[in-house]
Amino acid sequence: MIYFDNAATTKPCAESVAAVNGALERFGNPSSLHKLGLEAELIVTDAREAIAEALGAKAEEIYFTSGATESSNTAIFGAFRAYGKRKSRIVITSVEHPATAAPALLLEELGCEVVRVSPRDDGRFYAEDIAAAVDDNTFLLSMMLINNETGYILPVQETFSLVKKKHPEALLHCDCVQGFMKIPFKVKKLGADMLSLSGHKIHAPKGIGALYLRKGVHIPSLLYGGGQERGFRSGTESVPLIAGFGAAVNKLAPTIKERLDYVGQLRDRLTQMCAEKGFSVNSLPDASPYVVSISVNGLRSEVLLHYLEKKDICVSSGSACSKGKKSSVLGEFGLDAVSDSTIRVSFCAENTANEIDTLVEQLENAENELCKVSK
């Protein structure tokens, strides 16, 4: 099977699987004071430090969650509960993941003013446009680093810098799910107060994520109980999943640039071959090479997806959370005309040039076979 759906989830790496299994054997509760508990606590500590080091953060700024959805919800609703009585505006972009867009919609229903900034006619976001939407009444700006459907890299660092200079009280949250361990960045240079991460996008298990919360930023928790995660996120920590997350980070962190260069070569090969075959490449040349949006004119996404599936090639028609529904994100990027015939090809460093050749060959076969049938 050829797997090109890594933006949806990745195969857990061997190091992560081994760490999970090892932690299952050391089954103590990390809050317990006996030997087994201390062993479990050490596993959690090591993973927390690994993630913090990769981000350029402090270990005490990392809080484990069940995934990026919980992280983003905690950041957004926490900001609202902390500052929503004094301020009522939240600013997001129009292409955010549902983990950001849905909480923003709920806050809008609760009376907040939600400003959704769209790209310009050239399909690009500009830092000055997003920053201009932030005013003295804004308690939160939330924007993703890399769009999960097109690979578009948003101007997060530039935007956050502009906002902090003019509105230092506004909290800044970034969904870094498609960027962490894929493109080089440090959280302090990025300028984020809060940042969401996911384990299963970087070859760790599902069900584990993290929230970076800059020291000095205080928001209330969403979960109350035993006071785990230094009182911020109650619930017994999932030590095996945390161990797997940390192991994946330890494996990937030293090779971010090398993997980025390699995946860039795969992306270039795919886009060149698509151009030769007359397929449309919707992703911009300077987008993240890990995600490529392409269209085969005349073929609906769902039909093409199932055709490739029968050839043992896994791609998607967009965000995994959309479950096949038409993407509004593509429309925001000016791609509404091709949204019905768009597939997303998303890479990891285990993909090969030969797999790309096979994909393009099957896309050409699909065009020849299915278009004739439709006629």
Task: Examine the pLDDT at 61 and tell me if it is beyond 90.
Answer: yes
**C-beta neighbour count of 313 within 10 angstroms:** 20
- Structural domain harbouring 328: 2-9+255-374
Task: Examine the pLDDT at 84 and tell me if it is beyond 80.
Answer: yes
**Residue 298: alpha-carbon gap to chain centroid:** 30
Judging by DSSP bridges, how do beta strands 62-65 and 89-93 pair with one another?
unpaired
Say yes or no: 106 and 223 in one domain: yes
**C-beta neighbour count of 110 within 10 angstroms:** 10
CA distance 316 to 44: 34
Say yes or no: 207 and 299 in one domain: no
Beta strands in 224-370 (DSSP E): 280-281, 291-295, 313-314, 342-346
pLDDT given at position 373: 55
pLDDT given at position 92: 98
* Tens digit of each residue's pLDDT (9 = 90 or more) over 255-293: 999 999 999 999 999 999 999 999 999 999 999 999 999
Q: Following DSSP, what letter does each residue of 163-201 receive, concatenated? A: HHHH-TTSEEEEE-TTTTTTS---HHHHT-SEEEEESTT
CA distance 211 to 198: 9
Among 51-55, 300-304, 359-363, the minimum mean pLDDT is found in 300-304
More confident position, 337 or 271: 271
* Tens digit of each residue's pLDDT (9 = 90 or more) over 182-211: 999 999 999 999 999 999 999 999 999 999
Contact between 206 and 198 (Cβ < 8 Å): no
Say yes or no: 182 and 263 in one domain: no
| Residues paired with 346 in a beta bridge | 5, 291
Closest CA to 210 of 67, 101, 47: 67
Determine phi and psi for 62, rounding to 5 degrees: -105, 125
Say yes or no: 230 and 264 in one domain: no
CATH number reported for the structural domain that contains residue 188 in this entry: 3.40.640.10
Give the domain-ending residue among 207, 226, 253. 253
Say yes or no: 239 and 333 in one domain: no
Number of folded domains that form the chain: 2
| Amino acid residing at 144 | M
Say yes or no: 268 and 205 in one domain: no
Give the domain-ending residue among 253, 281, 296. 253
Say yes or no: 267 and 229 in one domain: no
pLDDT given at position 334: 86
Say yes or no: 60 and 125 in one domain: yes
Contact between 288 and 153 (Cβ < 8 Å): yes
Choosing from 13, 174, 321, 371, the catalytic residue is 321
Largest CA distance in the chain: 72
CA distance 94 to 120: 11
The structure tokens listed for 73 are: 């919800």
pLDDT given at position 318: 64
Give the domain-ending residue among 194, 220, 253. 253
Q: Following DSSP, what letter does each residue of 294-335 receive, concatenated? A: EE-TTS-HHHHHHHHHHTTEE-BSS-GGGTTPPPHHHHHTT-
| Dihedral sign of CA atoms 332, 337, 340, 344 in order | negative
CA distance 194 to 209: 13
Say yes or no: 73 and 198 in one domain: yes
Determine phi and psi for 222, rounding to 5 degrees: -95, -20
pLDDT given at position 375: 44
Among 53-57, 308-312, 317-321, the minimum mean pLDDT is found in 317-321
pLDDT-based confidence at 326, cuts 50/70/90? low
CATH number reported for the structural domain that contains residue 356 in this entry: 3.90.1150.10
Tell me, yes or no, if 176 is annotated catalytic: no
**Residue 43: alpha-carbon gap to chain centroid:** 25
Say yes or no: 217 and 326 in one domain: no
Say yes or no: 135 and 181 in one domain: yes
Mean pLDDT of the chain: 94
3-class DSSP state of 155: coil
Say yes or no: 158 and 25 in one domain: yes
* Tens digit of each residue's pLDDT (9 = 90 or more) over 107-164: 999 999 999 999 999 999 999 999 999 999 999 999 999 999 999 999 999 999 999 9
pLDDT given at position 307: 95
pLDDT given at position 317: 85
| Residues paired with 93 in a beta bridge | 117
